[in-house]
Every structure is written in C-alpha cells, then in structure tokens.
Copies of this chain bind each other. A is one copy, B any other.
C-alpha cells in the first residue's frame, strides 16, 4: 500500500542538502580545492598548488585536465586503500561520493597548461622506451597507450606528460612492486615489472620534460631537453636523406590516416595489426615479412612484391585505396620495412612470420561468451561498442574493431580464426597470455559477428561474394546474426 507520508522526511532531507548554502559549499569543487570541505578534507591546493599544477619538486602530480573517470577511480581507491597513500587516504576518506564526482568533473574540465608543445628531443633511454618501446623485452611504447604525447585516453588512461619526474618514478616503482593496482588485468603492473630502475628513472624524466617548469625534471641525471631545443629539429639537420625517408615511413606506419590521408581515412593504421611499429614478434613483424617477398600468395594467385602486399593492406585492412607503386608513400613504407629488417636474411622464413598458430577451441566459439570477454578485457581500450578510442588531443590511439572505420570484409582479420590467433598472442595489450584459448576464439567470433565495410571484391550479391571469396574461410561474411546478414553494407566508392 502506498504511504506517501513515508517520503516526507527523506525529501525534506534531500532538499535541505541541495538547497542549503552549507551543503552546496561542501560539494562545490572550487571551494574544496581552495579551502577543503567542512568534514575535515583539507584543500587540494595545499599540496597540488593553487592551479592544481602539482608540485614539480615533490612527488605531487598535476591534476588539471586529468580524465574524470580516472580521477573518480583514484579517489575511491585512495579512500579504501587499494591505492596505498596514507595522506591521500585521509583526504579521500573525508570526501563523499558527491564531492568525488564533483571534483573529478570540475578538475577534468580545467585546461592543461604549463606544457611545452614538443616531445623532448635529446636522445635517452627513456625517450626510446616512451616513443618506441623495446619489442624484444615486450615493453610497448608508453605513447602507444597514453597517446602520442602521453596526453591520456579517456576514460581510464591518464595523461602523464608534464608530470613531475619524482611522481612518475614513485608510481612506476609502485606498479613494479605491486603496491598500486590498475584494475584492468594488471596492464601497468605487467609493463613496470619489465622496467629496470634505469628505465624507470629515464622514462620519468622524459615525460617530466614536457613540463615548462624546469623543476619537474630536477634530479634528472641528464638534461632531457632545454627549452631552446624545442620547436627545432636539430638532429634532423644531420640526418641522411635515407633516414628521413625511413622516419617518414614510420610515421605513415604508425598513424596512416594522418600521414597518408589520401589512402587511408578510416580508424586503422598499419601498426594496429603489426604492433609496436611492426616490430613485435607475435604480430606479423615487418622484419619477418620483408625478407620473404616477392612471394607467391594464394589470395592473389600470383607472385607479388612486398610493395604489392602493402597495397593489399591499404585496400582491405585499412579499408582505403592503394597508392600506386613508386608513390613516395610506398617508397617510404618500403624503406622503413627494409630498415626494420636490417640484418635479416633474404628469402629465409622466420618462425615469427605472420601470427603464431593456435589450436582449435574445445567449444564452438560463442557470441555470448565472446561478449563477456570483450566487456571485461577489451572495452577499456576499444570502447564499449568496438569503436576504438582517441586521446585527449584527439589522436586515434586504439583502433575500432568493427563499424565504418574498421577493416573491411576483405581483410585477413575478418576471418575470426586469424583474429583469434592475433588476440591470443597479443591481447590484452601488455597482458598477452592471460586469455585462454577458448576466450580468444570466443571474443574473435564476437568481434567478427559485427558489421564492417563491404568487401572491395564485392560481386553481384552478398551470396555471390560469399561464394567467391569467403566460402572456405572462417569469416562470418554473409552469415545472419540477429536477423542481420553480415556483409550488407553498400560498397563504398571513395574518391
């Protein structure tokens, strides 16, 4: 039976909170930052500075512009001790949920300033790790998840550029020692475990050097960058023409839509299938592919050159248009591949060629199980709808796995067996090996059961195209999923 009087007290209480100046001041983020709240939380600015730029000389990070969900999570983790920091635990325990969300929203909307606009130029171990990683040690480039400047990827991957070196060093050591959880398959723990003290020191100094405040890098053993260096490209002046073309090739490889925009306008780059700049052993590395071309390829029914193989990538995996052979873009990519393959033996098949083999699963791959795997292990980076994610500076960081911006039905990845091999060997990024064989097959099946751009070889009808190109493969092209026939997108004719 409905008893309306029972609602009176709660409503009055709620209204008193929402309307009283005291309640408002308690949750007003600007006030909390400046003076703290009336339940004992001290002012954020006391340690993080009046403009929340952090304290470069101490271990205190800048907060301005950090992503909302990340800030909420950290404050919650401080409060319940998951992220160990006695001072911040005390602070956070005096913030209620409303304070936390209001602060996070307010702080995340503050523009970041106090940054220089270029990457540190002085070569260092940290620069190498941050920008290139160390594929042999299975350390991916920091920038491959944190964005091309370390600017962070909402909602969960924080910016790191410009943070004080002592703060970064402490955090990496905490991940290394397991004192800081990341809640997502131990992604950062996995990486930090592979870092030596020298690496941690140097990479911390690298990111601190993005700060315009020189105190951010105080204590760094070498000058990571002087401000007069920035905006110039001093080392480029002595680079050979050859090296310049190789560098250009790598830029195209790493961000194809940005650097070959006439030929790739979707969300994928070469390095999305060939991880870590094409160097990672488990994901069809360039150094195992380049030496074996020209090669007879069944898909083409003829011997093709490495350049022609790359043309296929443009047409299918990038869902773009192939530059003509000899186009400067093709030459740069070939020069980069040759550089990466330096010292490999011509014509010799390495075991790392392609993706590693994967045995068949015990159970027939399943949509529902695949979706569970996706939500738990993939959505963090690839988005809840497989749409991929961009960084705070709007750079594409994680690729879309289906939809208009993903690879098309002609790509090798659209065969879920191929995708399962890739996933099992490489995903989750930095935590490869944590998915079971069955999980890899299930999630690959789930991904493949979504619509993507039409196969450029489309002929007459989906049925005919399926018959011609997909019949003996494990692609789901032409199959019905929830009454939708996959492969129904109109063939996109790009200019």
Contacts and interface: CB of A to CB of B under 8 A. Distances in A.
Contacts of A344: 345-346
A304 B331 contact: yes
Given A341-B346, A342-B346, A342-B348, A296 B334 contact: no
Interface stretch (A124-132, A266-274, A287-295, A380-388): A287-295
Contacts of A145: none
A307 interface: yes
Nearest to A295: B242
A304 B332 CA distance: 9
B240 A296 contact: yes
Interface string A318-342: 0000001110000110110011011
Interface string A292-304: 0111100000111
A343 interface: yes
A308 interface: yes
A147 B294 CA distance: 30
A241 interface: yes
A305 interface: yes
Nearest to A243: B296
Given A303-B331, A308-B326, A331-B303, A294 B245 contact: yes
A347 interface: yes
The interface residues of chain A, by DSSP majority, are classed as: mixed
Nearest to A345: B343
Contacts of A338: 293-294, 346-347
Contacts of A293: 338
Given A326-B325, A346-B342, A348-B343, A241 B303 contact: yes
A305 B296 CA distance: 20
A26 B305 CA distance: 67
Nearest to A335: B294
Nearest to A342: B347
A335 B245 contact: no
A308 B303 CA distance: 18
A353 to B, nearest CB: 14
B347 A341 contact: yes
A470 to B, nearest CB: 23
Interface in A217-247: 240-242, 245
Nearest to A327: B325
Contacts of A326: 305, 307-308, 325
Among A242, A294, A324, max chain B CB count under 10 A is at A294
Given A242-B296, A303-B335, A304-B331, 14 more contacts: A241-B303, A245-B303, A290-B346, A294-B334, A294-B335, A305-B326, A305-B335, A307-B325, A308-B326, A342-B347, A343-B345, A343-B346, A343-B347, A346-B346
22 contacts: A241-B296, A242-B303, A245-B302, A290-B346, A293-B338, A294-B334, A294-B335, A302-B331, A303-B335, A304-B331, A305-B331, A307-B307, A307-B325, A325-B325, A338-B346, A341-B347, A342-B347, A342-B348, A343-B345, A343-B347, A343-B348, A346-B346
